[in-house]
Structure 1
Amino acid sequence: MTVIGVLLFIKFLSRERKNVPPNPPGIPLLGNINTLRPETMLSTIRKLHKQYGDLFSIKFFHQHLIFVGGYKTTNELLVRKGDVLGEKPYFFVKQVFRNAGVFSSSGPLWKEHRTFGLTSLRSLGFGKRNLQTRIFEEIEYFLAEVESHHGEPFDIQDLVSKSISNVISALVFGKRFELSDPTSAEMCSLLNAFVRSTAFQSPVNFFPFLRHLPGDLFGSKKLMKDFDRIFEIMYKILGEHRSTFDENNIRDFIDCYLKEQKNKNEAYKEHTFSDEQLISTLVEFFSAGMETTSTATQWGILYLMHNQEIQTRMRKEIENAVASGRFPTLEDKPKLPYCEAVCYEVLRMGNVAPTTAPHALKNDVTLNGFVIPKEATLFIDLDSINMDPEAFPDPFSFKPERFLSEDGKLTGTEKIGSFSLGRRVCMGESVAKMELFLFMTSLIQRFEIHNEAGKPLPSLEGILGLTYAPQNFAASYKKIN
């Protein structure tokens, strides 16, 4: 009787709402639980958009996952109807971040800490041109390490991750780590494993009890253990900062936060500027800031290996525009439109974040003639924007010239959806674009990138976790004299 009761209860919860976005046929009571397999998830979502249009749903038992795609439809929801987004729904990744930080928060907490974060980081140079001095410092170390391999093939993933994380370290910790530093290497390794092994659409994100099952089928136990270690590292750094904190000498983001925390303690009995909120925010900065740019850079290298003529054209443009002996700078951008177009095409094709984190709604919403119920879990499909054939003809071909006008000027970059839209647009968009441009142009200026001799070109099929990353690959970097 108990089993029958459970099944009847699931059936009651699973009753159909009228006029919700269509979903593919599923298993009675279980729904489409077998539809979104990690290894085929991206291609499946693309097929479902092709079949159903900008809106479709996936059912997990009684749960409706609604996917919203296409630039016009996404813009309608996130920009014109942006107020309908409510509290973030439950998903396991929130628990990984201790239900704190900015990324997994919403409402007043999200608004307060997003505003504080942006204001503080901008005061430290975030998104401003003077940040490029710090980026160039890191590029010097990065290129020296590339050169140390003397043209022998190697996998650049760890080096890129540590180099990009050092740019973030300068802002939030006030220092960089040596590329050989074991703590930095451990943190980068743990965060890389996290974003490559966890998908927002994994069942464990919607059914918390699954992580308590024997074994570790969904990797949730290992993930919590890994994040315990990441938080331990961050708390140690926080302790060191607190012991040397001087509110009249603000060195970095942690100091900005400690000063605000002190002011809140003096003015209020209760506030949200806790140590846990700070630590979760720091972990978010690293996991999002490092992963987006480092993965995009790896995609860029991979696409240039497959397209030697594009690499050659970039180098020629740099040679004609930039004086010998110095790196290309942000000020050189107007003279390097093709190089910048390549970076935008990398962001479009690399598609580092194919979908957003899950969203919830304050109330039912009508969109494109369908009703999205309040209790549904909402995903914005950024991949469908970047691969829209109306916006980008022949979308699966790497064509930087699509972002150049007839007179060679940069154009059409606003159509890219890589950083989302509306109020939830990525905080680090400007820095990610800056880092990608400077790292890519400096690398191409000084090295020719080639495939490993005698081996087939690495696959352009990626691996989908929280992000979409290339499979591990090796390349050789020949120094240009």
Structure 2
Amino acid sequence: MIFLILGVLTLLYLFHLFYWKRRNLPPGPLPLPLLGNLHLFTEDVKPGYKLWEKLRSQYGPVYTFWMSSLPMVLVTDWKLIKQHFIKDGANFVGRPEFPINMEIRKGPYGIIDSFGNRWVQQRRYAIHILRDFGLGKNLMEEKVLSEVVAMIDRLKGMKDDVDMQSIFDASVGSIINNLMFGYRFDESNMHEFLELKKRMNKHFKMAAEPMAGLVGMYPWLGNFPFFKPYKTVIVDNWTSMLKMFREQAEEKLATIDYDSDEYSDYVEAFLKERKKHEHEEGYGGFEMEQLDSVCFDLWVAGMETTSNTLYWSLLYVLLNPKVLERVYEELDTKIGSDRIITTTDRPNLNYINATINETQRLANLLPMNLPHATSADVVIAGYSIPKDTVIIPQISSVMYDPEIFPEPYEFRPERFLESDGSLKKVEEFVPFSIGKRQCLGEGLARMELFLFFSNLFNKFHIQFHESNPCPSVKKEMGITMKAAGYRVTMKERY
């Protein structure tokens, strides 16, 4: 009798696994118990681009991938992404609640992980404050250019055997830290930055591992020896960063002047807004936990992607001598001096803009875009997808689509130029994602990329250091894709 019961339970489980839980979803690979499809991340397909291409060829432009027990619908066709996430964007503004995130953040706080009224409120507030600080105006450009000048001055004293990743990290990190906390990084506090960066690197690298994805869905697995290192790295580094942000916020709390409506940084602005809501439940959405997570979101997103893109841009340009030659030629023709380049020069530097665009496309920093959740029942490509389903506009597949970008793994800035040399608008070029959850810092990031890139090459002749004459372009696995380390030498041009 026991064997009969076990046999029936086994059949019911297999029926549920192979059919029932998948019946209303787009096709996709068979999920394994507990793992889902995480086992497909073998070493030869990491960091994931090849896997997504393979699944698209097998199952079509809309398919289901199981992150452990969580089904995620990936939409890889540009026309479908445009039709739904852009034109019908209000139906795709949700966010899934990953258990590990909720455990660390203590709830769906911040901007990246929040949803519903909190997300609307906090995104709107963040945009409002960033605009007050000059986003899209000359004031913001001045802040960026001050770091560009500081970077140039620092490089003038180095010249040989330079690690530009650390230079970019500190420069871009100072911009976002100044916006968040009111100060930049220099010799007096560089140790603080290095500690933040060290923890961020560990977090981003470990969190991208398949086993970390499993721990993310089942945090209790971290109690077992095999899984414990994954959870320890993720939790310790994330919570340590949140703690560091909280300590700075509490320092401001001790000295803040509530009688003044002025504020010098984001944290001060948030704390003054929080004071206005102190008699409301949960401070009207301005809890300290919310501030912790917003600091994490803006600091990490504001530094990681821009710094890495600049590092990739230098690598790609130096590996392509003809591109390097055209960059210098355009600078000599259009600028012709060692003056600081500003955003007013942008319309005259089409080839440099095209080179930055091509870097963003080819670097393709997020192999899997951030997951959304449907906020209503939707139909995509004939598939009925219910409300609260995790869904991803897979823009990495779009930017490597050979029908849109022929020979997509080749570095060709000309893709973004018209025959007359003017800059071409390519709607499928969407490095900052799309829809209503598009990156709110896109304007700042575009400004930083242009000003750092153009001024760096205008000031210096750059080449690879003799220790690495031809570095690899293989991507290092992580939440965002890093280039392997390389060194350069520099010589002033004027």
The alpha carbon displacement at 1:50 in A equals 3.0
Once residues 83 and 290 of structure 2 are traced to their aligned partners in structure 1, the CA distance between those partners, rounded to angstroms, is 32
The alpha carbon displacement at 1:88 in A equals 2.1
The alpha carbon displacement at 1:314 in A equals 1.2
Number of the residue aligned with 2:171: 163
Once residues 320 and 379 of structure 1 are traced to their aligned partners in structure 2, the CA distance between those partners, rounded to angstroms, is 43
Number of the residue aligned with 2:125: 116
Number of the residue aligned with 2:56: 49
Q: Residue 353 of structure 1 is aligned with which of 359, 366, 381?
A: 366
CA contact (8 A) 1:311 1:444 kept: no
The one-letter code matched in structure 1 to 2:243 is: E
The alpha carbon displacement at 1:329 in A equals 0.8
SS at match of 2:41: coil
CA contact (8 A) 1:304 1:449 kept: no
Number of the residue aligned with 1:219: 230
The one-letter code matched in structure 2 to 1:175 is: Y
Q: Residue 252 of structure 2 is aligned with which of 241, 247, 251?
A: 241
SS at match of 1:34: helix
CA contact (8 A) 1:129 1:330 kept: no
The one-letter code matched in structure 2 to 1:426 is: C
**Mapping 1:185-204, distance limit 5 Å:** 185-199=194-208, 202-204=213-215
Number of the residue aligned with 2:150: 141
The normalised TM-score by structure 2 is 0.89
SS at match of 1:46: helix
SS at match of 1:388: coil
Aligned length: 480
The normalised TM-score by structure 1 is 0.92
The one-letter code matched in structure 2 to 1:224 is: V
Once residues 474 and 56 of structure 1 are traced to their aligned partners in structure 2, the CA distance between those partners, rounded to angstroms, is 41
CA contact (8 A) 1:138 1:163 kept: yes
Identity across aligned pairs (percent)?
28
Deviations 1:364-400 (A, max 9, x none): 4321122335464322211112112232222211111
Determine whether 1:178 maps to 2:178: no
Once residues 354 and 138 of structure 1 are traced to their aligned partners in structure 2, the CA distance between those partners, rounded to angstroms, is 30
CA contact (8 A) 1:68 1:380 kept: yes
SS at match of 1:476: strand
The alpha carbon displacement at 1:73 in A equals 1.4
CA contact (8 A) 2:24 2:384 kept: yes
CA 1:220 to 1:459, structure 2 compared with 1: closer, same or farther past 3 Å? same
SS at match of 1:64: strand
Once residues 378 and 80 of structure 2 are traced to their aligned partners in structure 1, the CA distance between those partners, rounded to angstroms, is 13
The one-letter code matched in structure 2 to 1:154 is: V
SS at match of 1:343: helix
Once residues 177 and 9 of structure 2 are traced to their aligned partners in structure 1, the CA distance between those partners, rounded to angstroms, is 50
Number of the residue aligned with 1:90: 97
CA contact (8 A) 1:13 1:62 kept: no
CA contact (8 A) 2:475 2:483 kept: yes
SS at match of 1:324: coil
Number of the residue aligned with 2:342: 329
The alpha carbon displacement at 1:212 in A equals 2.9
CA contact (8 A) 2:48 2:367 kept: no
The one-letter code matched in structure 1 to 2:233 is: K
Q: Which structure 2 segments of 5+ residues have no match?
A: none
Number of the residue aligned with 1:416: 429
The alpha carbon displacement at 1:444 in A equals 0.7
The one-letter code matched in structure 2 to 1:63 is: L
Q: Residue 465 of structure 1 is aligned with which of 464, 467, 478?
A: 478
Q: Residue 65 of structure 2 is aligned with which of 58, 61, 67?
A: 58
The one-letter code matched in structure 2 to 1:64 is: P
**Mapping 1:366-377, distance limit 5 Å:** 366-374=379-387, 376-377=389-390
Deviations 1:409-449 (A, max 9, x none): 11124321211111010011111111011111111111222
CA contact (8 A) 2:221 2:227 kept: no
CA contact (8 A) 2:371 2:392 kept: yes
Once residues 68 and 282 of structure 2 are traced to their aligned partners in structure 1, the CA distance between those partners, rounded to angstroms, is 44
CA contact (8 A) 2:180 2:299 kept: no
CA contact (8 A) 1:10 1:61 kept: no
Deviations 1:1-40 (A, max 9, x none): 7987986675464234446322135658865341134735
CA contact (8 A) 2:93 2:437 kept: no
CA 1:6 to 1:88, structure 2 compared with 1: closer, same or farther past 3 Å? farther
The worse-fitting range, judged by mean Cα deviation, of 364-373 and 232-241 is 364-373
**Mapping 1:23-42, distance limit 5 Å:** 23-24=28-29, 31-37=36-42, 39-42=46-49
CA 1:198 to 1:406, structure 2 compared with 1: closer, same or farther past 3 Å? same
The one-letter code matched in structure 1 to 2:128 is: T
Number of the residue aligned with 2:293: 280
CA contact (8 A) 2:461 2:492 kept: yes
CA 1:265 to 1:29, structure 2 compared with 1: closer, same or farther past 3 Å? closer
CA contact (8 A) 2:93 2:436 kept: no
CA 1:12 to 1:261, structure 2 compared with 1: closer, same or farther past 3 Å? farther
The one-letter code matched in structure 2 to 1:190 is: R
Q: Which structure 1 segments of 5+ residues have no match?
A: none
SS at match of 1:305: helix
SS at match of 1:265: coil
CA contact (8 A) 1:204 1:218 kept: no
SS at match of 1:383: helix
Q: Residue 68 of structure 1 is aligned with which of 48, 67, 75?
A: 75
Once residues 200 and 87 of structure 1 are traced to their aligned partners in structure 2, the CA distance between those partners, rounded to angstroms, is 24
Once residues 4 and 105 of structure 1 are traced to their aligned partners in structure 2, the CA distance between those partners, rounded to angstroms, is 43
Once residues 85 and 446 of structure 1 are traced to their aligned partners in structure 2, the CA distance between those partners, rounded to angstroms, is 45
CA contact (8 A) 1:196 1:468 kept: no
CA contact (8 A) 1:192 1:291 kept: no
The one-letter code matched in structure 2 to 1:207 is: Y
Number of the residue aligned with 1:397: 410
Once residues 448 and 4 of structure 1 are traced to their aligned partners in structure 2, the CA distance between those partners, rounded to angstroms, is 72
